[in-house]
Amino acid sequence: MNTPDELDALLAPPQVPADSQLRQRLRDETARRLRPRRTLQVAIIAAALGGCYAAGAGTVWALRSTPAPAVVEAPRNDMPAWRELEQSPQQIELAAEQSDGIDSAKLYLAAARKFARERGDWTAALRCYRNALDMSPEAETMVDPDNDDWLMTALKLSRREEIANEND
Amino acid sequence: MRDAERVWRERGLRAAVLAGDALAWQTWYDEAFAALDAYVVWRCGGLRDRADDALQETWLAAVRNLRRFDPEQASFVSWLRGIAANLLRNQLRATRRKPTLSLNGELPVVDASAQRERGERVALALAALPDHYESVLRDKYLDGRSVADIALERGGSEKAVESLLTRARAAFREAYGDE
């Protein structure tokens, strides 16, 4: 093999195309081997989601299993020292009469609300509301839309007007 | 296809295939099959049976290592050809060390076909060549590219490519004659 023609013939690409069955078989085989990658990815994603779920569930469990801290209810400043809710409005009114200052005002207010809401005794409620306002400083004549009923609102507005007139 | 466009496209195909898109793989496979097959058959000296084995191993290796394929470094077909070249080189080295035996393991197989003998000698000679000789012979003979085209791609002069081809042919002639 010395001539360039012979060498060119040896290096020329052989014309022996692949069998179509081989091509198909290799395509199927390679595609099949690539499929597990997807399965694996799906498994990884599912495991990750499962892990997130487990972490969330674990957090909830941990929070629930932790004993709730004991809550010591401090007496609220706006409430009298004793539990007027367990008593009748008459008893609360009596306690108000025996108290002084702001405590007395709060007890009258509590008694008035009980008379109005539980008994529908608006006369007694009016009496207690008036006493509560008499015992309160001027700031207490501000209308409390969340707690004041129509009677107390009317009394407060009237009282504010009286105060304003006195100042004039 | 411009190189940037090829990189963009092959990057997308690679991502799709790795995500499990069967249609993307079918497209890529079909596009690359003929070019890889031609190369493997050329490297096997036209021996179809040997080429079929190498082809199968190449595709399976490609699937296993697809994550390593970087479109920025080379085209998919070039990458596949690189895998095939390594496989063939290793196979032929093993063949040289271990003479073929007949079924009873006593006598060497005598292939009467001169065509087959010639094919095996071509395969061995190509496997013995350094990469830069093999690649320039591949560009010239297998891909049928002109010297000017090869020079343009390699960023060299036509004279340099001619010189390289001359040396590559001489190396091949020597390797072929030695077998």
Closest residue of B to A37, CA-based?
B20
Is the domain of B51 the same as that of B96? yes
Is the domain of B50 the same as that of B107? yes
Distance, in Å, from the CA atom of B5 to the CA atom of B74, rounded to the nearest integer, reads 13
Burial class (CB in 10 A: 0-12, 13-18, 19+), B77: middle
Rounded to 5°, angle at Cα B122 from B119 and B128: 140
pLDDT of residue B113: 75
Does B167 reside within a domain? yes
Is the domain of B30 the same as that of B64? yes
Distance, in Å, from the CA atom of B38 to the CA atom of B30, rounded to the nearest integer, reads 13
- The identity of residue B25, as a single letter, is W
The domain that contains B109 carries what CATH number? 1.10.1740.10
Q: Given B85, B114, B143, which residue is the final one in a domain?
A: B114
Percent of chain B topping pLDDT 90:
63
pLDDT of residue A78: 53
> In which residue are the tokens 């969330």 written?
A56
Distance, in Å, from the CA atom of A106 to the CA atom of A76, rounded to the nearest integer, reads 12
Interval A63-92: pLDDT, tens: 776 666 666 555 555 555 555 557 888 889
Q: Which pair of tokens denotes residue B176?
A: 């072929």
Is the domain of B136 the same as that of B108? no
Q: Given B69, B90, B114, which residue is the final one in a domain?
A: B114
Residue B13 forms contact with A (CB below 8 Å): no
* Nearest Cα to Cα of residue B53 among B41, B64, B42: B41
Does B124 reside within a domain? no
Is the domain of B8 the same as that of B68? yes
Is the domain of B84 the same as that of B161? no
* Nearest Cα to Cα of residue B22 among B30, B8, A22, B34: B30
CB contact under 8 A, A11 and B52: no
- Residue ranges per structural domain of chain A: 20-65, 84-159
Q: Given B114, B138, B169, which residue is the final one in a domain?
A: B114
Domain total in chain B: 2
Is the domain of B96 the same as that of B149? no
pLDDT of residue A51: 87
> Which candidate from A8, A16, A30 shows the least CB-CB separation from B41?
A16
pTM: 0.58
Q: What is the mean pLDDT of residues B154-164?
A: 92
Distance, in Å, from the CA atom of A111 to the CA atom of A95, rounded to the nearest integer, reads 9
Closest residue of A to B115, CA-based?
A10
Write out chain A's pLDDT in tens, 168 residues. 556 678 888 899 888 888 889 999 999 999 988 876 556 667 778 888 888 888 888 888 877 766 666 665 555 555 555 555 578 888 898 888 888 888 888 888 889 888 888 888 888 988 988 888 888 766 567 778 787 888 888 888 887 787 777 776
Q: Residue B69: which domain range?
A: 3-114
Residue B135 has pLDDT above 60, yes or no: yes
* Nearest Cα to Cα of residue B45 among B97, B91, B110, B94: B91
Is the domain of B85 the same as that of B136? no
Does B123 reside within a domain? no
Is the domain of B139 the same as that of B56? no
Interval B46-59: pLDDT, tens: 999 889 999 999 99
Which of B21, B26, B41, B68 has the highest number of chain A CBs within 10 A, making it the mutation to test binding with A? Answer: B41
Is the domain of B110 the same as that of B133? no
Sign of the C-alpha dihedral computed for residues B172, B175, B177 and B179 taken in this order = negative
Does B121 reside within a domain? no
Does B72 reside within a domain? yes
Sign of the C-alpha dihedral computed for residues B153, B155, B158 and B159 taken in this order = negative
Burial class (CB in 10 A: 0-12, 13-18, 19+), A149: middle
Does B74 reside within a domain? yes
